[in-house]
Amino acid sequence: MLGARAEALLVARGPGVVAGLPAVDVVLAEVRERLRLGPAAFRPEVADSAPVEAGTVLGRFAGPARVLLAAERTMLNFLGHLSGVATLTAAFVEAVAGTGAVVRDTRKTTPGLRHLEKYAVRCGGGANHRMGLYDALLVKDNHIQAAGSLRRAVEAARAAGPGLPLEVEVETLEQVADALDLGCDLLLLDNMELETMAEAVKACGKRARTEASGGVTLDRARAVAETGVDFLAVGAITHSAPSLDIALDWEG
């Protein structure tokens, strides 16, 4: 019976934004090779980044039943998680619509899944901050403490990564002034009250861009964006996104 051919549907059980469909073919190919069985075909009915409702058919399968059953859980794990990331990202993007602020991810990603999760963020309409220490630098509070001052930390970062984009975490208006004096062009406003954040944005003017971080919840996102910040750093869209419920429904 397991050697027979089968057909199945990939179905969204709830509303959301789809991400990760290319992973289906990768999983099917891996399982087929390991089981030494014939190919299983997958035909997507929607594309990544598409908003879907509950009951939407995402794709159709045809192939050996054993391959589909063996691949089922891994496929659904990828799709559910990545679609969950895209769905939560889209909710944040919608919350700040019209403000001009851009929702960005962080490096708070699942080990081994950073590229996939950041791809899912883009599917949800968000933007990627950085992949690692090799493409952008961020001077944080611990760096400042270790270096002895904000100036020393910034100088050390510039020496270690000349030419790389450099962002500096600031917690007070005094640190904002110091960072601007050092010529920093991107400031991470960490855990500031909304009024203080608005003052920091005003102080930066056109000299530096600003990014809000810390306590940026979905309920609070619009108020944060309306302070005038350029970016919202939201770690939750990768580390706390609930999985989108997606199922494999057998046909026949």
62-110 per-position pLDDT tens digit: 999 999 999 999 999 999 999 999 999 999 999 999 999 999 999 999 9
Computed from CA positions of residues 196, 199, 204, 205, in that sequence, does the dihedral angle turn out positive or negative? positive
pLDDT on residue 175: 96
Other Cβ atoms within 10 Å of 240 Cβ, number = 12
Closest CA to 226 of 246, 249, 198: 198
Q: CATH number of the domain at 95-239, please?
A: 3.20.20.70
Q: How far apart are CA 75 and CA 98, in angstroms?
A: 36
Angle subtended at Cα 187 by Cα 95 and Cα 209, rounded to the nearest 5 degrees: 65
pLDDT on residue 251: 87
Contact 168, 187 (CB under 8 A): yes
pLDDT on residue 133: 84
What are the catalytic residues? 73, 108, 140, 169, 190
> What crossing angle do the helices spanning 150-160 and 173-181 adopt, rounded to 10°?
40
**Cα–Cα separations (whole angstroms), residue 234 to 195, 223, 224:** 20, 14, 12
Domains of the chain, by residue range, sit at: 5-92+242-251, 95-239
Structure tokens, 137: 């630098």
pLDDT on residue 36: 87
Structure tokens, 170: 């600031």
Closest CA to 58 of 42, 74, 81, 35: 42
- Residues of the chain under the 70 pLDDT cut: 1-3, 252
Amino acid at residue number 69 = L
Contact 54, 83 (CB under 8 A): no
Return the CATH class of domain 5-92+242-251: alpha beta
